[in-house]
Structure 1
Amino acid sequence: MTIVHPTYYQEIVVKLKNENITVKHFVLWASKKTLENRLCKRGDGNNSWPAKQIDRCMQSLSNNMFQQRIVTDDVTIEQVAEKIASMCGIHLLPDHSKF
């Protein structure tokens, strides 16, 4: 789930933590150019709704409450998953599903 608004973060994540529910929150961060390229690859143009949200989301995610960032510009999805698992103390099993 993407939470970029500090108020929503407070309402959801902080409330859960206050209820002693473990919450792991990571920001998957990439440069604006990388985000634009990814959107283009999936068929969203520069005038699409997701493309128009980039600046707003990047500005909001620059807030100090969103400190745990993983820079994803030059890494694979698998590497991001491995990084998150490592940060959470989870050992991933090998992926045997590739065909």
Structure 2
Amino acid sequence: MFEVLDLVLGKQQGVVIAPMTLTEPAYYDEILGRLREAGHEVRHFALLADRETVLARLRERSLSRSLKREAFAVAKLDGCLERLRTPEFAEHVETDRLTVPQVADRIAASAGLSLAANADGPLRHRLRRIGVTIRHIRL
């Protein structure tokens, strides 16, 4: 992952956003530490939520609302949440009561970025959310 991000950051003008979950300190250092050592500006945001919120979000990915297919994620959940809450995992964004646009706004403001205004009306926004949900459903 380091090599890909290093290449993109070397060629791309502006901000590069890499959505990924890093919960192991060694991987964090291997990827983000090396990027910093290579002279890249790196901002890391840990999106956090209470256990029950995460479980509810995982249930939304299944048509049956069962967590059977999410057994691996559920088994790792407590450890991941605990590690992500530690200081080395950067800026914490509590997402329990935030919408996706609110999370994006909070991160942009913290990173000194300005986002284009969302031109979606309520219906289009809802349809987009349904589309994302459908694409992430696991059968």
Give the deviation of 1:97 after TM superposition.
4.5
- CA RMSD, aligned part only? 1.6
> Which runs of 5 or more residues in structure 1 are unaligned?
none
Give the superposition deviation at 1:67.
3.5
Q: For this pair of structures, how many residues does the alignment match?
A: 99
* Aligned mates of 2:90, 2:37 — CA distance in 1: 19
**Is 1:31 the counterpart of 2:53 in the alignment?**
no
Greater CA drift, 55-64 or 69-78 = 55-64
By relative contact order (CA 8 Å, sep 6+), the higher-ranking structure is 1
1:14 counterpart residue number: 33
Q: Structure 1 vs Structure 2: percent identity of aligned residues?
A: 31
1:56 equivalenced with 2:72 (yes/no): no
Matched, 1:72 2:72: no
- Per-residue CA deviation, residues 12-53 of structure 1 (Å, 9 max, x unaligned), is 101111111111100001000110111111115166222222
Amino acid at match of 1:18: E
- 1:84 maps to 107
- Give unpaired runs (5+ residues) of structure 2: 1-19, 125-139
**Is 13-22 or 39-48 further displaced after alignment?**
39-48
> Which has the higher Rg, Structure 1 or Structure 2?
2
Q: Who is 2:67 aligned against?
A: 45
CA 1:25 to 1:67, structure 2 compared with 1: closer, same or farther past 3 Å?
A: closer
